[in-house]
Amino acid sequence: MSEVLSQSEIDNLLKALSTGELDAEEYKNKDEKQVKVYDFKRPSKFSKEHLRTLEIIFEHYGRLLYTNLPAYLRKTVSVDVVSSEALIYAEFSNALSNPVLLGIVDASPMNGKIIMELGTNLGYAIIDRMLGGSGVSLEKKREFSEIEIIILERFLSICIDLLREPWQNVVAIKPRLERIETNPQFAQIISPQEMMSIVTLSIKIGDVEGLMNICLPFDTLEDVMDKLNTKYWFSTMKEKDENTYEEIIESLISKAEIPIKATLGKSKISVNDFVNLQKGDIIKLDSLVGQELEIYVGNIKKFTALPGSSDDKYAVRVTSIIREEQ
């Protein structure tokens, strides 16, 4: 009964309200807890941790787009992650207009597909740019021609191939563009009630700004959901960073081409003899017949070798190492 006010307390409250000492709106709903409606028929399969990890992955992806697309479009490009949220596919597809640009992506070895939606205003600007224009969009939407679809397929293939690196800490995917759909009714790759996460990127190409939505169905991500957490992601990044630099250097060095030459011998002649050299003249070298040749790597004498042939070409067989580099 301690919560029941006495008559004197009630009178004091009414007096304070009438004189303005207390503001009723200030105390209204002060102790009420905010309730979020939860639909048990449609439970969310993506936690905040999952969505945050996807944002981190696509922030990395955005940096790759920012770095690579200007070389392809010859235009300044900026990319930002706007949001990540969980929706059912029906909510996403019902919000699409016609025409639309939907790239259906095979994300092997993950099961299922990924949908990449590119804003039509960006599509028109990309087509204009690739056909020699300045990269402006259209004021009014229209259907895309077959040639324009081919141009956009090339562009989306570049974007999709860049998905490999951001995802390699989770799963080594080999993404491939299967097709582009311009009618959302033909892109029903999953059940309308299937849960999916949508990561939205804001892309600005020159003066044209639009959105790219990457839709990741739960069925596609189900096998890697346990890896979609920041703790796992950052731990794999740390392990990778410790070895990446050394691996990159080794890879670059192993592919580098270096000049190598075999020297038969040397000789000195006078300027007069040099000027009067004719076809058929013989220059005597300082090396003997049967003597090993000197092999130079760059300007460093590295090996000795014996002359011979291999597949109708001159060749040498290394007989000894003169100098070993540390």
What is the per-residue pLDDT for 1?
43
Neighbours of 167 (CB within 10 A): 18
DSSP state of 34: P
The percentage of the chain sitting over the pLDDT mark of 90, rounded to a whole number, equals 18
Residue ranges and CATH numbers for the domains of the chain are 48-238 (3.40.1550.10), 260-321 (2.30.330.10)
Contact in structure between 91 and 230 (CB atoms under 8 Å): no
For 125-160, the pLDDT digits (tens) are: 999 888 888 888 887 888 889 999 999 999 999 999
Contact 204, 187 (CB under 8 A): no
pLDDT, mean of residues 15-32: 65
- pLDDT at residue number 8: 76
Strand order in the sheet with 195-205: 77-88, 195-205, 208-217, 113-118, 101-106, 176-181
SS (H, E, C) 219-283: HHHHHHHHHCCHHHHHHHHHHHHHHHHHHHHHHHHHHCCCCEEEECCCCCCCHHHHHCCCCCCCC
Q: Which of 80, 123, 90, 70 is nearest to 192 (CA)?
A: 90
pLDDT-wise least confident of 10-24, 74-88, 165-179: 10-24
* Separate counts of helices (H) and strands (E) for the chain: 10, 10
pLDDT tens profile 46-75: 788 888 888 888 998 999 999 888 888 888
- Confidence at 34, pLDDT banded by 50, 70, 90: low
Per-residue pLDDT for 193 more than 50? yes
How far, in Å, CA of 107 to CA of 172, rounded?
A: 10
Mean pLDDT of 71-86: 89
254/289 Cα distance (integer angstroms): 36
Residue 168: pLDDT above 80?
yes
List the one residue out of 305, 303, 309 whose CA is nearest residue 293.
305
Q: How confident is the model at residue 184 (pLDDT cuts 50, 70, 90)?
A: confident
* Structure confidence by residue, pLDDT tens digits, 103-127: 999 988 888 889 999 998 999 999 9
Composition of the chain by helix, strand, coil, percent to 5: 40, 25, 35
pLDDT given for residue 290 in this prediction: 79
User: Which tokens sit at 177?
Assistant: 């563009």
Indicate the average pLDDT of the chain: 82
| 12: pLDDT strictly greater than 80 | no
Tokens at residue 230, please?
Answer: 């920041």
Given this model, what pLDDT does residue 30 score?
Answer: 54
Q: Residue range 87-104: average pLDDT? A: 87
Reply yes or no on whether the pLDDT at 189 is more than 90.
no
B/e letters for 86-119, b = 16+ CB within 10 Å, e = fewer, are: bbbbeebbeebeebbbbbbbbbeebebbbbbbbb
What confidence score (pLDDT) does residue 42 get? 54
Strands (E), 134-264: 176-181, 195-205, 208-217, 260-263
Residue 127, classed as helix, strand or coil, is: helix
Average the pLDDT over 234-241 and give the result.
Answer: 58
pLDDT at 76 over 70: yes
